[in-house]
Structure 1
């Protein structure tokens, strides 16, 4: 009886099940990745055109300084962050060390670009005598950014420059993956809150939503 029960969970059977289950997913993975890149680039381009063409362009002084903020946050905390999450699936056959470095570099690029975006919006608010941290978008965005920095630093300490034991790393890995995906969702949500807020402040009382203004669409 025990032998029969063991045969049901034998590693070879688990491997066969995993292979049969994941093979179709792996075959279609390139299409999903390509689709994500198209959508990601489209988000960055649309945000860039919106701020650059419809909202007065880009500058580091004056009213156009604010426009740097949405573009940087979408580029950093949505597009590059999303790509950093994908590298472990896209480059699953490469050496783990190389993928770790790429993962960390993409996060670092996202961090630097996001800092530029935050500096731009705080400078703009200071110059225009606008209060800081006054909206739901402000608090959600700042919470997301702080947690993103903490997640990146913990990832460096646990995995890229590992000071922790193998047992501790294996314990933290599921948490790192979970909070990485959660923070990506929070980044997208914060960006959507910010875009909605900017539209309402810019267009409310000027153009009705049901007129299908290009910026609303």
Structure 2
């Protein structure tokens, strides 16, 4: 059963990668074939970077980064490399997003077009603002070692909720943006939008790919069988940033260390395998043990 679940997971990841690649390639082809290509000179061709970069950043890279902790390889061993990968992919997504915003604002300002007046722009700028807050908060609380387990436990469900909410807002913004672009581009042509010319069919299909990608990301995030299992015993737990629980000043190995072979160094020793300690971090702290240990079994 586990192998079957794992097989379906990797098959879903393969499908997700294919959908994400198609979303980006379809958007590039739309802008290149029907909208004249790309430039960086304040013209309409500069605007064409906007849909490509926003789809790549706020949808594809963002969605992929959200699934890092669903990989079974992230369930064992140190969490820090996976945290760094999660943060790095989101940072790439944010950089692409910022460049995409620069493209559209520069085009609007160059052509004296109003900014942030449409529902599409309101959805998009809200998603970007929440994304920036989400990344900064996640970096400060979940990656840096200062935060207590209590704070991380409190903020984790909020972090997860806004992760899914931002992706949903991004998809809504992309769909409304595709519609807006088609209305503006086809309103004075011989074949208007309501006659469904080939460009409209292709752009609508691109939007459906974006929706399919987003739904699959949300499904993988919500599927309980693909979530990181909660540890039943602390031997599964790993320290963040390779911190160790020190036993300095106790004069002996504490009772929590069930295997004396893991304690070394005499009076100023440390527990070489922190997983041997059955007590949670807060209990250690109140016992006067080191406050430098940070446990990251669930967060």
Task: Output the TM-score relative to the length of structure 1.
Answer: 0.86
Structure 1 position 27 matched with structure 2 position 11: no
Match of 1:197 in 2: 180
Match of 1:120 in 2: 103
Pairs aligned (count):
197
When structure 1 is superposed on structure 2, of 100-109 and 207-216 the one drifting more is 207-216
Structure 1 position 66 matched with structure 2 position 47: yes
Structure 1 position 45 matched with structure 2 position 25: yes
**CA distance in 2 between partners of 1:45 and 1:120 (Å):** 19
Q: 2:67 aligns with which of 83, 86, 104?
A: 86
Match of 1:5 in 2: none
**CA distance in 2 between partners of 1:83 and 1:170 (Å):** 24
Structure 1 39/212 Cα, relative in aligned 2: closer, same or farther at 3 Å? Answer: same
3-state SS, counterpart of residue 70 of structure 2: helix
- 1:66-109 residue CA offsets vs partner (Å, 9 max, x unmatched): 00110000000000001101111124345311110000000000
3-state SS, counterpart of residue 50 of structure 2: helix
**CA distance in 1 between partners of 2:193 and 2:108 (Å):** 27
Match of 1:150 in 2: 133
Match of 1:214 in 2: 198
Structure 1 position 186 matched with structure 2 position 166: no
Per-residue deviation at 1:52?
1.5
Checking the alignment, whether the CA contact within 8 Å between 1:66 and 1:124 is kept in structure 2 is yes
Structure 1 position 139 matched with structure 2 position 122: yes
Q: 2:112 aligns with which of 126, 129, 135?
A: 129
**CA distance in 2 between partners of 1:74 and 1:104 (Å):** 19
Task: Output the TM-score relative to the length of structure 2.
Answer: 0.63
Checking the alignment, whether the CA contact within 8 Å between 2:183 and 2:193 is kept in structure 1 is no
Structure 1 position 105 matched with structure 2 position 85: no
Per-residue deviation at 1:205?
4.0
3-state SS, counterpart of residue 74 of structure 2: coil
Structure 1 193/162 Cα, relative in aligned 2: closer, same or farther at 3 Å? Answer: farther
Checking the alignment, whether the CA contact within 8 Å between 1:151 and 1:176 is kept in structure 2 is yes
3-state SS, counterpart of residue 48 of structure 2: helix
Checking the alignment, whether the CA contact within 8 Å between 2:69 and 2:75 is kept in structure 1 is no
Q: Which has the higher helix share?
A: 1
Checking the alignment, whether the CA contact within 8 Å between 1:156 and 1:162 is kept in structure 2 is no
Match of 2:211 in 1: none
Match of 2:142 in 1: 159
When structure 1 is superposed on structure 2, of 199-208 and 185-194 the one drifting more is 199-208
**CA distance in 1 between partners of 2:116 and 2:27 (Å):** 22
Q: CA RMSD in A?
A: 1.5
